């Protein structure tokens, strides 16, 4: 399995919801919507992996960078055990 870089934002309306974007070394992007006891995810492949949605992939890449910037601009209310690029780790 390739290394993943994780970008995360806690949601505004509940104490346990989060949006996570995992970017793999090969460019694949996994979107996960998580709550304390459940989650759902979808994956979009990059061009080198045969991705069929180049504009969607680009938008998700931009979203990951926006999440990173939001985390850098605002104090991030992290929860124990959650770490990732642009979240609350170095």
The answer to whether position 81 is within a domain reads: no
Q: How many domains does the chain have?
A: 1
- In this prediction the pTM is 0.77
Residue 5's pLDDT is what?
A: 94
Host domain of residue 9: 4-73
The answer to whether position 80 is within a domain reads: no
Instruction: Report the C-alpha gap between 46 and 2 in whole angstroms.
Output: 14
User: Within a 13 Å sphere around the CA of 38, how many CA atoms are in the beta-carbon half?
Assistant: 1
What are the pLDDT digits (tens) for 20-43?
A: 999 999 999 999 999 989 999 999
Tokens of 54: 């180049």
Residue 57's pLDDT is what?
A: 95
With DSSP H G I counted as helix, E B as strand and the rest as coil, what are the percentages for the chain, rounded to 5?
25, 30, 45
Residue 48's pLDDT is what?
A: 83
The pair phi, psi for residue 38, each rounded to 5°, is -155, 160
């Amino acid at each position: 399995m390739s290394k993943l870089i994780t970008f995360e934002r806690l949601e505004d309306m509940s104490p346990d919801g989060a949006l996570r974007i995992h970017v793999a070394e090969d460019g694949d992007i996994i979107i996960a919507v998580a709550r304390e006891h459940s989650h759902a995810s979808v994956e979009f492949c990059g061009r080198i992996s045969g991705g069929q949605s180049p504009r969607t992939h680009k938008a998700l890449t931009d979203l990951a960078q926006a999440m990173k910037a939001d985390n850098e601009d605002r104090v991030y209310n992290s929860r124990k055990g959650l770490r990732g690029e642009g979240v609350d780790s170095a």
